[in-house]
Structure 1
Amino acid sequence: MAFQCQRDCYMREFVTSVVSCCPAELKHEVNGKKETLKGFNVKLQDTILFPEGGGQPDDHGLIGDVAVLRVTRQGPDAVHFVGSALEVGQEVQVRVDWERRFDHMQQHSGQHLITALADTMFGYKTTSWELGRQRSSIELDTASMKPAQLKELEEAVNEKIRAHVPVTVQLLSIDDPAVEKVRSRGLPDDHAGPIRIIDIDGVDANMCCGTHVSNLSHLQVIKLLGTEKGKKNKTNLIFLAGNRVLKYAEKSYSTERSLVSLLKTGPDEHVEAVDKLQKSAKLLQKTNLSLLRDMAVLIAQNFKNDPERGNFFSLHNNRSVVSLLFDRKEGDNEFMNIIANEINTEETLVFLTVGEEKGPGLFLLAGPGGAVSELGPRVLELLQGKGAGKNGRFQGKANSLAGRGEVEALLREHSQRRSSGEE
């Protein structure tokens, strides 16, 4: 059967009844973290909430006052996951999140239009597509697409939009000869009921379960953003349709105004201004690296020139000091390694740290191979860190430099015993 959302894609509210309600779980992702929600799977007599399928995400909405978090299809049924139980047999009002639904309609119908014309104009077949949250993509069976072709295709799809071409839905039985004439990538194994055909008048007839606009004019406009290299010698065509184009323009204009304020130039000069800034930053970075090396060498030389230096050297540098000279993560390690390289670590035990006084940071232990191998694990433990060592070096990340004093005491005691010949 076709659901009410497929018979009338523009219906926003609908009254139906609850057929079943069973306890269920939903694996959900929030801010990149996966969690399992406990709730109920509800089947309705009919629904205006589209279940995920055909490359189109599911609808969101309400059943009464209960939020619908997911809609999936199981054979001929749409299953709605909700957080609260609903009484079987009760009459309920279903409401769809119209902004989300209409956006999906625009992107999906836009995909059909682009797919059809890319095939007609250039012979590029669509092998898959993705309706993304911000932009959508069509995978075309071609290794590349020329800029001139992209421009020609964009002009053609928008010409069809301006021509107010109707989009109609046909329901055909699976054995209807007309089914063989429409474009399709095949039916799901659990398909039940009639075959649904989306017909863009004079442009395309395609087997599809999704929700669509009734006229291409409802797409407003389509913007082809460009192409990306796809898998297996294919090309991904990135596009926006309808309200997404307006949102993209609004966001781009907001960014443009911010850049005008920051760069103190007009929009046409932004690229040139940023290019100059990048060149200046690279030059400063090169200069800063030289200063960083000079500072590290000077610190090591001051130690070597000290007649009372002993065989233990320790230094802590606040990360902000290093960052002033060299704004890259590698700067911390470079700073410590230069000092260790300048000091004769075959005779001297060197302990260096960079970071907040009692917070996280980096550490380096260098010295005679045997001593470093013996002391490294203990240093790691005291700094609550992670690291590894070889060839007289043991370094890594410290979760807490609060234990730095204990490490210094341990290393100093070891050096004193070594000096006195106890080791």
Structure 2
Amino acid sequence: MSFLCQKQCYLKKCKTVVTSCTPAKCLVDKKENKCIDGFEVILEDTVLFPEGGGQPDDRGKINGTDVLKVWRKGAHAIHFVMAEQNVGQEVEVEVDWQRRFDNMQQHSGQHLITAIAESLYSWPTTSWDLGEKVSTIELDTVKITDDQLLAIESAVNEQIRNAVPVKVRLLESGSDEMETIRSRGLPDDHVGPVRVVEIQGIDSNMCCGTHVSNLSHLQSIKLLGLTKAKKGKSNVVFVAGNRVLRYLGSCYQTEKAMTKLLKCTPVEQTSAVEKVQKNLKEVCKVSNRLLKMVAVMRAQIYVENKDRDPVFVQHEKDGDSEFLNILAKAVGDKARFMFLTGGDEKRAGLYLLIGPPEAIASLAPKVSELLDGKGVLKNGWFQGKANKMAGRSQAELLLRKYITDHEL
């Protein structure tokens, strides 16, 4: 099994014939999780790559009609389109070249990094993911040091500078040569010869994906670091080819913005940010002290009022859980009920409901429903987080009605 897109990876369009067109539903966008109506089209051959080998499927057009998804089924590539295609008709198929070449660069980059990592440190690749902005290779090792990461990056870019050829060969399944090829196994529905991608003198790997014909077409590879991985594994994040330039451009724009904000040169940014962080910590300390003083003062004003309201209600936009607790403890048993809130006045925030244990046990679920919140009840104290603080006034009325109804 080998399509035109696999035989000639740099071919951008071709003429072919429609052999089948069947009405069908397809889940085009997994994020939307919605199937749409269209047609499954099979062609005599195609320049559109069906998903496989860790490489996403191509996008393109059939006679101007957008191809929304391509996948392989046995020896056929299935193209999903919205417009019906006439069986027997000759059509022109064109690939979205920018997307395809990006996939080729990332895929060939993965092969190269995988081969070098295994050659230098005997770390096999267990999986990989070609993402929209960055790609990830999962290596079978618990730890990778910065020096080892740098050594891999240096070695892969040296091979790119050496302009090493990349060739595609077809081998018979079960042949002696197949025993020497790196492989993760064939699909159950595979038919025909086995496709092998060879980076000359570096790696031979069974693969159905599209690849550059020479490592120089990768331009460069940048290893961006490590991310959290499965137990016993390490994830290496990388960009290859044009993505390196886009990543560099993005970093440069960020650097320009930071230079303007911090009013310093790029080399001074780290020390400038450290200074800002230090000042911010001092400001936060002062702010916390002032908030605590405000909490105590508000409590004192309430306690000293002989005609005080039996329901102590307070809201502080900047109040956190510590502020609410200080306020509550300072009031003590001088209020029958306390309804203390902090955060946004209409949206998300914190709330503290205090009163007789049996009353709070009854009221807490109702207040939580009004505030679209949830929390924890303990000894007449209910602490919660709310999503709809606009319900505070209704919650207050609920407390007052409870006092009236129970003649507290």
Normalization by structure 1: what TM-score? 0.89
Deviation at 1:310, TM superposition (A): 4.4
Runs of 4+ in 1 over 6 A off after TM superposition: none
For 1:387 and 1:149, the matched residues in 2 are separated by 47
- The one-letter code of the counterpart of 1:374 is S
**1:252-304: CA deviations, max 9, x gaps?**
11111001000111111111111111122122212211211111111011100
Amino acid at match of 2:143: S
Aligned partners of 1:312 and 1:415 also within 8 Å: no
2:39 is aligned to 40
Query: How much does 1:175 deviate?
Result: 3.5
Q: Structure 1 stretch 251-260 or stretch 164-173: which is displaced more?
A: 164-173
- Once the two structures are overlaid, the 10-residue window that deviates more, 253-262 or 238-247, is 238-247
Residue identity in the other structure for 1:336? L
1:309-343 Cα offsets, whole Å, 9 max, x none, are 143222334x2xx2xxxxxxxx4333333222221
- What residue in structure 2 maps to residue 239 of structure 1? 238
Paired residues, number: 408
CA change 1:377–1:185 in 2 (3 A) is: closer
What letter corresponds to residue 65 of structure 2 in structure 1? V
Give the residue type in structure 2 aligned to 1:162: R
Q: Cα–Cα, structure 1 residues 178 and 391, in superposed 2: closer, same or farther, change >3 Å?
A: same
* 2:362 is the counterpart of 1:374: yes
Q: Which residue, out of 362, 377, 381, partners 1:393?
A: 381
Residue type of the partner of 1:51? P
Counterpart in 1 of 2:155? Answer: 156
Distance in 2 between residues matched to 1:162 and 1:234, nearest whole Å: 30
Matching of residue 15 in structure 1 with residue 15 in structure 2: yes
Instruction: State how far apart, in whole Å, the 2-side matches of 1:336 and 1:61 are.
Output: 59
SS at match of 2:67: strand
Counterpart amino acid of 2:352?
L
Identify which range, 381-390 or 65-74, moves more after superposition.
381-390
Matches within 5 A, 1:310-389: 310-317=309-316, 319=317, 322=318, 331-345=319-333, 348-354=336-342, 361-383=349-371, 385-387=373-375, 389=377
Shift of 1:16: 1.1
| C-alpha distance 357-262 of structure 1, shift in aligned 2 (>3 A) | closer
5 Å-filtered alignment, 1:250-261, equals 250-261=249-260
Cα distance, 1:417 vs structure 2: 6.5
CA-to-aligned-CA distance 1:223-269 (integer Å, 9 cap, x gap): 12223453232222222111011111111111110010001111111
User: Once the 2 structures are TM-superposed, how far is the Cα of residue 416 of structure 1 from its aligned partner?
Assistant: 5.5
User: Which residue of the partner structure matches residue 92 of structure 1?
Assistant: 91
Deviation (angstroms), 1:164 = 1.8
| Contact map agreement 1:106 1:218 (CA 8 A) in 2 | yes
Task: Give the Å deviation of 1:408.
Answer: 3.4
Aligned-pair distance for 1:213? 0.6
1:47 Cα offset (Å): 0.9
Cross-structure match for 2:221: 222
Matches of 2:309 and 2:148, distance apart in 1: 74
Deviations 1:97-150 (A, max 9, x none): 101100111111111122222222332222222212111122222222333333
Provide the residue aligned with 2:166 in structure 1: 167
Instruction: Map 1:95-174 to 2 at 5 A.
Output: 95-174=94-173
Residue 328 of structure 1 corresponds to none
TM-aligned CA deviation for residue 391 of structure 1: 1.7
| 1:240 counterpart letter in structure 2 | V
SS at 1:151 equivalent: helix
d(CA) in 1 for partners of 2:283 and 2:273? 15
Q: For 1:10, give the aligned amino acid.
A: Y
Amino acid at match of 2:323: F
| Offset at residue 374 of structure 1 (A) | 3.0
Is the contact between residue 28 and residue 68 of structure 2 (CA under 8 Å) also seen in structure 1?
no
Question: Which residue of structure 2 lines up, in the alignment, with residue 273 of structure 1?
Answer: 272
Distance 2:48 2:269 in 1: 45
Partner of 2:400 in structure 1?
412
RMSD of the TM alignment (CA)? 2.3
Measured against aligned partners, the alpha-carbon deviations of 1:183-240 in whole angstroms (never above 9, x if no partner) come to 1111111111111111212222211100001111111111122234532322222221
Kept in 1: contact 2:196–2:206 (CA 8 A): yes
C-alpha contact (below 8 Å) 1:182/1:206 kept by paired residues: yes
The 1:297/1:160 distance shift into structure 2, 3 A limit, reads same
> In structure 2, the residue corresponding to 1:101 is in which secondary structure?
helix
CA distance in 2 between partners of 1:216 and 1:73 (Å) = 27
Residue ranges of structure 2 left out of the alignment (5+ in a row): none
CA contact (8 A) 1:25 1:39 kept: yes
Residue 344 of structure 1: SS of its match in structure 2?
helix
Distance 1:148 1:293, change over 3 A: same
What is the identity, as a one-letter code, of the residue corresponding to 2:284?
Q
Against the structure 1 CA distance between its residues 402 and 278, is the aligned structure 2 distance closer, same or farther, given a 3 Å change threshold? closer
Q: Percent identity?
A: 52
- 1:387, distance to aligned residue in structure 2 (A): 4.7
CA–CA distance in 2 between the matches of 1:381 and 1:178?
A: 69
Distance 1:380 1:60, change over 3 A: same
SS of the aligned residue for 2:178 comes to helix
CA drift at 1:354: 3.8
* Cα distance change on mapping 1:336 and 1:5 into 2, 3 Å: same
What residue is the counterpart of 1:50 in the other structure?
Answer: 49
Q: Give the secondary-structure state (helix, strand or coil) at the position aligned to 1:343.
A: helix
Shift of 1:414: 4.0
For residue 26 of structure 2, what is the amino acid of its counterpart? L
Question: Which residue of structure 2 lines up, in the alignment, with residue 3 of structure 1?
Answer: 3
In structure 2, what residue type is equivalent to 1:209?
Answer: C
CA contact (8 A) 1:345 1:366 kept: no
Query: Separation in 1 of the partners of 2:339 and 2:215?
Result: 70
Is the contact between residue 137 and residue 236 of structure 2 (CA under 8 Å) also seen in structure 1?
Answer: yes
Residue 171 of structure 1, CA deviation? 1.1
| Partner SS for 2:94 | strand
